[in-house]
A and B are shown apart, each in its own frame.
Chain A
Amino acid sequence: MYKLLLIWRYFLKKRVAYIAVLAVLLLVMLVLVVLSIMSGLLEDTRQRNHRWTGDLVVGRDSLVGFAYYDEWIAALQNHPQVEAAAPVIKTFGLIQGGGARQLMGIDMESWCRVTHFQQTLFYQKNDRLPSLAVPAADSLPPDSQPELRGCILGYYMLAGQQGFLRPGPAAAKLSVTVFGLNSRGQLAGSGIGEQQFFWYVDDSESGLVDIDSSVLYVDFHRLQKLCYMNGLDGQPKRASEVRIKLKENVSLAAGKTAIAGLWQQFAKQYQGKPSSHLLADVRIETWKEYRRSRIAPAEKEKSLMIVIFAMIGFVAVFIIFAIFYMIVTEKIKDLGIVKSVGGSRLGISQIFLGYGALVGLVGAVIGTILGILIVTHSNEIEGLLNAWFGFRLWDPEVYAISRIPDAVDYGQAAVIGLVAILACILGASLPARRAAKLEVVETLRVD
């Protein structure tokens, strides 16, 4: 009883304890706000990558691609764990006035089933099915195939001196030069590249800066033809990748294992057939593996933040230690008095450990509440700052996000609070040990 009474009275009467509470409060609040926003950004980054990639990617690093993709897609479509599969051609092209860019040949219907591509489009977001057809077909040369001549630009490719300007569908055209490779990896055709005009029909903002600033989406078959991957050289047709969407209830790991097994059987089946050597080094990757170079920095940034805050946490523990050391020094006589009426060493140390726990508890609870309020109202706070001072914490043009992540992981908040309380107990433990070891007579001589 006396321990609780003294803990409570010391807490109320010792102003220096309020500094310790403030240190804990600020630390908990800061950690919660930063980790919540970082976790939100990381989750956002993951989701954007997942939405753009699909669940699994089967393909080769080489621009030559791999053969028998149609048969592979047919095998995938019969697999019980696969929802959809889409072939992709990936290559690089020279764009007149725009330098080298990545070109992706997509089959719009299957691509939209595997990825969330349609939601990233500006004009065709709500269409039944987006299209690469050019609306103003009359403006095209009579020999062209308008349904194949549209292209979709990554949003950041629209950036110009005047900012982001959309020319409008079919109002601008790009000259693209592509260098095709045969199945042996040699330059195909004339060797000087194939030039083609594509009309802008839409743009895509996936939120992935590397994609939105460099990828030009065109029709799969047209790009396949430009790259000499369409089998006209007597070899089987080729694709760079096949993207796969798994069924809802299939986990990524289980899906990857199943598809890897299926691929082994498939590759064995085509052994010895033309271009079968292109099946040898095909990789099966999950979206996380495929996009690891883009996700890892965000994860590292979060880890770095945790390390930084762990260091700040050590500082907070040291502050608490210093404060408690001061309090013990000041309360030496009290400890002697308690011992003189029968208080045990354990009881004395419990007073200070309890005091530390109370400081931690109060700081952690208030810090957690404030942290949650700040995170959940971060967009309103940013709006107010913008209205009052014209200051934007998160420029959507820079961060590719329209809202600051404002979801709180309550489990994570509880862990942060608990760690803060434990840190306070740790900070109080050495002074408590010192208090318990003091001899009664020595302490009572202090006057």
Chain B
Amino acid sequence: MIRTRALYKDYPMGRDKLHVLRGVNLEVRRGEFLAIMGASGSGKSTLLHILGLLDRPDRGEVELEGQPVFHQSQARQDRIRNKEIGFVFQFYHLLPELNVEENVLLPEMVGNSLWNWVRRRKTTRRQAREVIESVGLEKQIHQRPATLSGGERQRVAIARALVQRPKLLLADEPTGNLDSVSGKVILDIFGRLNQAGQTIVMVTHDAKVAALAHRKLDLIDGKIQ
């Protein structure tokens, strides 16, 4: 499904460089639920950002379905990020000016021309409502993010990541900012999604959260152990 080949990533620190990733090789199979663990600053979020095409490696390549992605045009990479990858962030990252439904529809709106959007609007909105219902937020559909709890916001973020039916769902500490009850709800959703065949790569430093995954990998000093 997705494979990395010798990923390297450095960040400048004054005159020196911080070597965050030092030749990461990784393969995730279709339908797999992979947890990447590591201490704070170990480079797990950087790895996830590179897998999600939000960042570029200094060296190395990422292959999605056997195709190298960083050799593609920027427009193609934008399209992959829009259609084939869903991203759930620790801090939800919802647009405060849009309501729940509009936030969930954002990838659809970004990925379609105005004409296509108008033409497919009814179908797309129905799909969005189904996703919103699947995360249990049908009653909050017209609410703004500011009026929702942390758990509800994260469920909106999950719905947004799923609305395009992506091949790969990436989650960066999805329960890191939530209380235990809300965290459990989110993990239940991830469990259900994976059972339905969704490929998930989750970054966490919490062993209990990682226990939900099929496979666990530790990232230590920029290398997979």
A residues near B, CB below 8 A? 1-2, 4-6, 9-10, 13, 333-334, 336-345, 347, 439-441, 444, 447
Contacts and interface: CB of A to CB of B under 8 A. Distances in A.
Nearest to B161: A341
A447 B173 CA distance: 15
A344 B78 CA distance: 6
13 contacts: A5-B102, A10-B97, A13-B97, A333-B93, A334-B95, A337-B93, A337-B94, A338-B110, A340-B87, A341-B110, A342-B79, A344-B75, A440-B55
Contacts of A2: 106, 109-110
B82 A341 contact: yes
Contacts of B112: 1
Given A9-B97, A13-B97, A447-B91, 15 more contacts: A1-B112, A6-B95, A337-B93, A339-B78, A340-B54, A341-B82, A341-B106, A341-B110, A341-B160, A342-B83, A342-B107, A343-B110, A344-B74, A347-B110, A444-B93
Given A333-B93, A337-B94, A444-B93, A342 B111 contact: yes
Contacts of A338: 95, 106, 110
Interface string B70-96: 000011001101110001010101111
A439 B79 CA distance: 17
Contacts of A340: 52, 54, 81, 87, 89, 93
A110 to B, nearest CB: 70
Interface of B: 49, 52, 54-55, 74-75, 78-79, 81-83, 87, 89, 91, 93-98, 102, 106-107, 109-114, 117-118, 160
A11 to B, nearest CB: 10
Nearest to A8: B97
Which 5 A-B residue pairs are closest in the complex by CB-CB distance? A342-B82, A2-B109, A9-B97, A1-B117, A341-B107
Contacts of B94: 337
Contacts of B110: 2, 338, 341-343, 347
A339 B77 CA distance: 11
Given A2-B109, A342-B83, A337 B95 contact: yes
A373 B104 CA distance: 45
A342 B84 CA distance: 10
Tell me whether chain A's interface is mostly helix, strand or loop, or mixed. Answer: helix
Contacts of A334: 95-97
A135 B21 CA distance: 111
Contact of A1 (B74, B75, B79, B114): B114
Contacts of B91: 447
Contact of A441 (B49, B106, B118): B49
B53 to A, nearest CB: 9
Contact of A444 (B54, B106, B111): B54
Nearest to B121: A1
Nearest to B81: A342
A101 to B, nearest CB: 74
B57 to A, nearest CB: 12
A341 B108 CA distance: 9
Nearest to B97: A9
A337 B160 CA distance: 11
Contact of B55 (A13, A337, A345, A441): A441
Contacts of B114: 1, 4
Contact of B78 (A333, A343, A439): A343
B74 to A, nearest CB: 7
Contacts of B89: 340, 444
A344 B49 CA distance: 17
Contact of B54 (A1, A4, A441, A447): A441
Nearest to A344: B78
Nearest to B91: A447
Contacts of A333: 93
Interface centre among B97, B111, B118 (most CB of A within 10 A): B97
Nearest to A12: B97
A440 B160 CA distance: 17
B140 to A, nearest CB: 18
Interface centre among A4, A10, A340 (most CB of B within 10 A): A340
Given A341-B107, A343-B110, A336 B55 contact: no
A342 B82 CA distance: 4
A447 B118 CA distance: 34
A342 B117 CA distance: 15
A438 to B, nearest CB: 12
